[in-house]
Structure 1
Amino acid sequence: MIYVEIRGNLGNQLFIYATAKKIQKLTGQKIQLNTTTLNKYFPNYKFGLSEFIMEDPDCFIESYKKLPWFTNEYLLPIKIFKKILNKTPKINKILSDFFFKAFEKKGYFIWRGETFKKFSLGNHKNYYLSGFWQSEEYFYDIRDELLEIITPINSIRECNFELLNLIRNSESICVSIRRGDYVDNPKISAIYNVCDINYFIESVNEIKKNVVNVKVICFSDDVEWVKKNIKFDCETHYETYGNSLSEKVQLMSSCKHFVLSNSSFSWWTEFLSIRGGITIAPKNWYADEREADIYRKNWIYLEDKTEEE
């Protein structure tokens, strides 16, 4: 069995699930998605994967049985240890690599970093996966399989039929504008930039240099703010209020071109698209410019500035 710790919101969950599917591809074992950490420490987060992978016969959900204690970074001794290590980055890196390799030998893959971490599967009865795994290097070679499996189970509502038709039959640009906790939560905003208004306008203009008759489709967790504050010099539409996660993904991934925010949800809507257009992404994914492997090779990168409130 491949025991998988589910963390974060839908974008994070998709990275974790995709990495687990790659391990399954190599080992032939079934997957157990464990939501105990999500339920206990992040009660406001939703198990968004439930709207996408119910048709996966080799994947099961566990909501009560805990994973091994050492995978739980929220236990007080581990929190204290991490806090001490964070003050000495070089030692932190050395020890993180040491512990990763030590656990790897037992089939435990525990990684909290943003960079790609190569691991060897070995031959184990069970595997344990705990981390965010935000790089397509973990699963790029099974993309076609993932496109078939990651399928929204909810149908598009009638109120979105017209918008979906417009998206599919035009040079549509999905503009994904992340606000929410990026603006309201100091701990989150200390990690992630809030892309400023000029970034979105300049990105659309960059696509317009190569594409005519574009149609901008804005998606956001604060659509009203977008309507009031960002004006594009072309035909512009906005997502319908009250869309479910599965509806959002269906609409967004149907677009041809993309202007991404620095969010894993944005990343996945572009990854799931099959129309092959232009993608613009912020050059700095993290506020502290930490090293990361979330970037895709075919993207165009533009400078963005942290928005000042």
Structure 2
Amino acid sequence: MIVIRVMGGLGNQMQQYALYEKFKALGKETRLDTSWFDNASMQENVLARRSLELRFFDNLTYEACTPQEREALLGKEGFFNKLERKLFPSKNKHFYESEMFHPEIFKLDNVYLEGHWACEKYYHDIMPLLQSKIIFPKTDNIQNNMLKNKMNSENSVSIHIRRGDYLDPENAAMFGGICTDSYYKSAEGYIRNRVTNPHFYLFSDDPAYLREHYKGEEYTVVDWNHGADSFYDMELMSCCKHNVCANSTFSFWGARLNRTEKKIVIRPAKHKNSQQAEPERMHELWENWVIIDEEGRIV
């Protein structure tokens, strides 16, 4: 049995679910462990407490692991049990993500997988299946419904600019300085050179910043989905014909769920500052994505 821990925000949850579907497609008995959301101690170091948002999607179903199934792989808690697993690695069935891509996980069985699994290569081949299963619940929000129709009728482009928690000292060292002004200027130029009369829809947790820096009839700031409705921003991103992503799994999934043929999707050269930018490797792992670094260079 393969058990995958679900944790983090919506984008990360979708990636863990996507990996679940990939293992299912390979014929593996697979479960999702959602206990992270029920245990406050597991979120002690998380700046914003998270909830299980996968439950909001209409067609998204999965098999959850039981406490007994989790214990069968992780063993019982306690000092001596942890020591035994450390001294006898063969008894340790807990696999932690430590690289951008771990192809070896698909050869494993009876293992507990913990990580975010952001790499496109994990589930690129089953993206049509994921698009058919990740269906946003219907909304009565008139602005959202009108905007989806408008996006469909024009050369719409989403731009996601994440600020908010990325400006906090705890996060700035890890995530700051990646999606720079040069990155966004280059991405916008790339779109303008290939798309006729693009209209840019701007998404951010700092709409005041957007209004100050993006002025003109070709820009629309989307700023009305808040709280429990925030995930509708991801749906609106997916309704655009092209996507410019932040170093954020939220906008990665807005782009992934975009069903437009020959769409342009742009992402930064790295997700966090602890990674080395390796263009050749990135193009292998993120097939058909345009990759731009913090200097605005297309790599």
Q: Please tell me the TM-score bracket, short chain as reference.
A: 0.7 to 0.9
The aligned amino acid for 1:250 is E
Aligned position for 1:150 = 134
| Distance of aligned partners of 1:163 and 1:146 in 2 relative to their CA distance in 1, 3 Å threshold | same
Question: Match for residue 219 of structure 1?
Answer: 203
SS in 2 for 1:148: helix
Match of 2:120 in 1: 136
Tell me how far 1:23 sits from its aligned partner.
1.2
Which TM-score applies when normalising by structure 2? 0.78
The CA distance in 1 between the partners of 2:246 and 2:61, in whole Å, is: 33
> Shift of residue 297 of structure 1?
2.4
Of all paired residues, the percent bearing the same amino acid is 25
Distance 1:109 1:118 in 2: 16
Q: Quick one: distance in 2 between partners of 1:45 and 1:61?
A: 20
Which position in structure 2 is the counterpart of 1:241? 224
Moved beyond 4 Å, runs of 4+? 64-72, 120-124, 291-295
CA contact (8 A) 1:193 1:285 kept: no
Q: How many residue pairs end up in the alignment? A: 275
Q: Give, in whole Å, the separation in 2 of the partners of 1:109 and 1:232.
A: 50
| Residue 156 of structure 1, CA deviation | 5.5
Gaps of 5+ in 2: 81-85
- 1:203 aligned counterpart, secondary structure: helix
Q: CA deviation at 1:71?
A: 6.4
**8 Å contact from structure 2 (residues 246, 268) kept in 1:** yes
Assess, with a 3 A threshold, how the Cα gap between structure 1 residues 305 and 288 changes in structure 2: closer, same or farther: farther
Deviation (angstroms), 1:252: 0.6
Question: 5+ residue gaps in structure 1?
Answer: 78-94
Equivalent residue letter for 2:290: I
C-alpha contact (below 8 Å) 1:24/1:31 kept by paired residues: no
Q: Deviations over 1:90-144 (max 9, x none)?
A: xxxxx9xx96xx57xx7x46223241112255685x5422111121222222111
Deviations 1:284-306 (A, max 9, x none): 43224436877622222223269
Measure how far apart 1:260 and its partner are: 1.1
Q: Tell me the TM-score normalized by structure 1.
A: 0.76
1:68 deviation in Å? 4.7
One-letter amino acid of the counterpart of residue 60, structure 1: A
Task: Return the offset for 1:265.
Answer: 1.1
CA RMSD between the two structures: 3.5
Match of 1:187 among 140, 152, 170: 170
Q: Does structure 2 retain, via aligned residues, the 8 Å contact 1:48–1:245?
A: no
Higher helix proportion (structure 1 or 2): 2
Following superposition of structure 1 onto structure 2, how do residues 141-290 of structure 1 map, counting pairs within 5 Å?
141-155=125-139, 157-184=141-168, 186-194=169-177, 195-228=179-212, 230-231=213-214, 235-243=218-226, 244-275=229-260, 276-290=262-276
- In the other structure, the counterpart of 1:23 is 23
